[in-house]
């Protein structure tokens, strides 16, 4: 430290940069004090990487510099072993293909190698363009040079594991309990949770709440709708912070007792301590290891498996592209099974007649595709007018539309609708509202036929007959 203080050189000329002297230190939840270039043995490579890191710092991407320095150190080691006399101008494709093989020999996973090669290609292209380190200004690495990545294993946290964790919330400190509740509903990144601003609640004209936070990865503010229950949790935390730091300005919603932001790994550490204490296990029977990002995966996966359109999930999670959201588009086996069961369930139309089966010869993937493309979901069934045909020409009169289908799954809803229709019939009769009476009598008649058919477990021909009987009864 003394030598550092006495070093008169410009900070950018040193092999260890003190970022605080440069007026930056990374994000509050991921503090970075030093950038070290000491592992770069070739002077031309060290100069190029320093220049590139200086450019990166000007864009505020402090943590990215660690990635650049890391892969450059791997390249420096490779050159020291295989090309000790090489200079920047001598770098060519043969040397870089050897570097790719070097990374594999060093035991990096396919995904790890993919990431490093992408980073190094970015460095080469920028430094070559600027003429830094004498690197050639031409393309040296191509897309086909990248290793095939292994399919990402879904990292969402199963519902039963979350329930087991939440059963022991009392093991956490009061503010840590609230941290966990926020990330479980919002699915933000751990660093974004730790840096959530104290004044993070917004409210619209309808009285609904939104949570405002800064997305460090995307470098933008983001706000998402939250439940009133979670809004109450946030208000409790704000009150907690006002009491803890009475008379002081509090920048963050969650802080340590000293008023500094929690580190990014704090949540995972405290949750895993609870999991270890109570022996929380996953579906495979093994002790479950929580990762903070797993809560984000859980939110995205749960939304998609509950039918939220992917572009809405993309907006909620704050992704720039649909590809980023597709990582979360894991269709659970239970969702696939429910979709197939629902599609194969006995369906009746508004007359109570059983709709013809589509047959069992097609694949399950084709069934799911057909169900989602050629059926429009309704609260009490599905409209089999294809989605491509546009909006329903019958407005809200689905119960009098020949395209409507329903299953026993919707019996409670159908019965409630029948009760509502019968009340309207009684009112219309009493008030001589003939048009209302006519419309609701037809709806009630169709509902009775559908309900009777769905409750009847007899052969299909009897189902059709019961529907006709219901129509005759009026």
pLDDT recorded at residue 58: 87
pLDDT (tens digit per residue) in 314-362 = 888 888 787 777 766 665 555 555 555 554 555 555 555 655 554 444 3
Would you say residue 366 has pLDDT above 50? no
For the chain, the 3-state helix, strand and coil shares in percent, each to the nearest 5, are 55, 10, 35
Q: Are residues 311 and 171 in the same domain?
A: yes
Verify that 379 and 446 share a domain, yes or no.
yes
**Which range marks the domain in which residue 98 is found?**
2-145
Residue 235 has pLDDT above 80, yes or no: yes
Is 153 within the bounds of a domain? no
pLDDT at residue 6 tops 70: no
Same domain, yes or no, for 136 and 181?
no
Residue 130 has pLDDT above 70, yes or no: yes
Mean of pLDDT over the chain: 80
Instruction: Confirm whether 297 is a catalytic residue.
Output: no
- The answer on 398 and 272 residing in a single domain is no
Same structural domain, 94 and 177: no
Q: Which residue in 296, 347, 403, 448 is the catalytic one?
A: 296
- In this structure, is residue 152 part of a structural domain? no
d(CA 54, CA 35): 11
Q: What percent of the chain has pLDDT above 90?
A: 43
Check 78, 209, 328, 343 and give the catalytic one.
328
Domain at 172, CATH number? 1.10.443.10
Q: What is the pLDDT of residue 355?
A: 58
Residue 114 belongs to some domain of the structure? yes
Looking at the fold, whether 373 and 272 belong to one and the same domain comes out as no
* Active-site option among 14, 51, 217, 442: 217
Using the 3D structure, point to which of 326, 343, 363 is the last residue of a domain: 326
126, 293, 330, 394: which one is catalytic?
293
- Mark whether 52 is an active-site residue: no
The residues that bridge with 405 in the sheet, in sequence order, are 382
Q: Which of 215-229, 349-363, 437-451 has the lowest mean pLDDT?
A: 349-363
* Candidates 27, 222, 298, 319; catalytic one: 319
Active-site annotation holder among 46, 116, 178, 189: 189
CA angle 204–208–213, rounded 5-degree value: 75
Q: According to the model, what pLDDT value does residue 52 have?
A: 96
Domain assignment present for residue 176? The answer is yes
Residues 296 and 182 in one domain: yes
**Residue 151 included in any domain:** no
Whether residues 26 and 139 fall in one domain:
yes
Model pLDDT, residue 348? 55
254 domain-assigned: yes
DSSP H or E run through 471: helix 460-473
Q: Which spans in 32-61 are helix H?
A: 43-58
Of 356 and 306, more confident: 306
Where residue 135 falls among pLDDT bands split at 50, 70, 90? very high
Give the β-pairing of 209-215 and 381-383: unpaired
Residues linked to residue 203 through DSSP beta bridges, in sequence order: 209
To the query of whether residue 113 is one of the catalytic residues in this protein, the response is no
Residue 397 lies in a domain: yes
Domain count, the chain: 3
328 in active site: yes
Active site residue 293: yes
Whether 361 and 429 share a structural domain:
yes
Query: Over the stretch 389-431, which tens digit does the pLDDT of each residue have?
Result: 444 455 346 766 766 777 887 888 888 888 888 887 887 788 7
Instruction: Give the DSSP letter string of 300-340.
Output: HHHHHHTT--HHHHHHHHT-SSHHHHHTT----HHHHHHHH
Give the residue, 237 or 394, on which the prediction is more confident.
Answer: 237
The answer to whether residue 319 is catalytic is yes
Do both 194 and 292 map to the same domain?
Answer: yes
pLDDT recorded at residue 358 = 42
Task: Among 81, 116, 145, give the residue marking a domain's end.
Answer: 145
- Shared domain for 355 and 317, answered yes or no, is no
Residue finishing a domain among 326, 350, 365: 326
Residue 255 Cα distances to 20, 212, 244, 252, angstroms = 21, 17, 10, 6
Asked if residue 166 and residue 141 are part of one domain, the reply reads no
Q: Interhelix angle for 460-473 vs 434-455, to 10°?
A: 160
Which pTM was predicted?
A: 0.58
């Amino acid at each position: 430290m003394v030598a550092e203080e006495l070093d008169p050189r410009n900070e950018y000329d040193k092999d260890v940069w003190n970022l605080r002297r440069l007026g930056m230190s990374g994000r509050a939840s991921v503090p970075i004090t030093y950038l070290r270039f000491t592992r770069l043995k070739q002077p031309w490579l060290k100069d190029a990487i320093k220049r590139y890191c200086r450019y990166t710092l000007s864009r505020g991407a402090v943590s990215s510099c660690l990635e650049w320095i890391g892969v450059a150190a791997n390249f420096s080691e490779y050159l020291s072993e295989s090309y000790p006399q090489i200079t920047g101008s001598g770098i060519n494709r043969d040397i870089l293909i050897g570097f790719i093989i070097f990374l594999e020999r060093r035991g990096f996973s396919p995904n790890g190698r993919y990431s490093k090669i992408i980073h190094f290609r970015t460095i080469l292209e920028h430094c070559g363009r600027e003429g830094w380190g004498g690197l050639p200004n031409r393309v040296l690495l191509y897309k086909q040079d990248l290793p095939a990545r292994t399919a990402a294993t879904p990292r969402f946290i199963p519902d039963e594991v979350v329930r087991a964790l939440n059963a022991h919330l009392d093991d956490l400190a009061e503010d840590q309990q609230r941290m966990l509740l926020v990330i479980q509903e919002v699915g933000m990144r751990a660093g974004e949770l730790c840096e959530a601003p104290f004044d993070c609640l917004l409210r619209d004209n309808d009285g609904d709440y939104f949570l405002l936070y800064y997305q460090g990865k995307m470098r933008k503010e983001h706000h998402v709708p939250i439940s009133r229950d979670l809004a109450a949790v946030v208000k409790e935390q704000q009150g907690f912070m006002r009491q803890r730091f009475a008379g002081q300005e509090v920048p963050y919603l969650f802080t340590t007792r000293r008023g500094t932001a929690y580190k990014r790994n704090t949540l995972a550490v405290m949750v895993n301590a609870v999991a270890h204490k109570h022996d929380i296990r996953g579906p495979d029977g093994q002790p479950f290891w929580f990762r903070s990002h797993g809560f984000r995966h859980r939110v995205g996966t749960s939304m998609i498996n509950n039918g939220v359109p992917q572009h809405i999930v993309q907006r909620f999670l704050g992704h720039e592209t649909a590809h980023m959201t597709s990582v979360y588009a894991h269709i659970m086996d239970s969702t696939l099974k429910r979709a197939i069961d629902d599609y194969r369930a006995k369906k009746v139309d508004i007359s109570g007649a059983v709709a013809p089966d589509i047959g069992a010869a097609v694949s399950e993937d084709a069934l799911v595709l057909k169900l989602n493309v050629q059926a429009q979901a309704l609260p009490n069934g599905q409209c089999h007018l294809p989605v491509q045909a546009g909006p329903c020409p019958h407005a809200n009169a689905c119960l009098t539309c020949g395209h409507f289908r329903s299953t026993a799954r919707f019996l409670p809803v159908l019965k409630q609708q029948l009760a509502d229709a019968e009340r309207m019939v009684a009112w219309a009769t009493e008030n001589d509202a003939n048009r209302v009476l006519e419309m609701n009598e037809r709806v009630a008649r169709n509902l009775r036929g559908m309900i009777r058919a769905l409750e009847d477990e007899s052969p299909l021909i009897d189902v059709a007959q019961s529907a006709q009987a219901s129509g005759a009864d009026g």
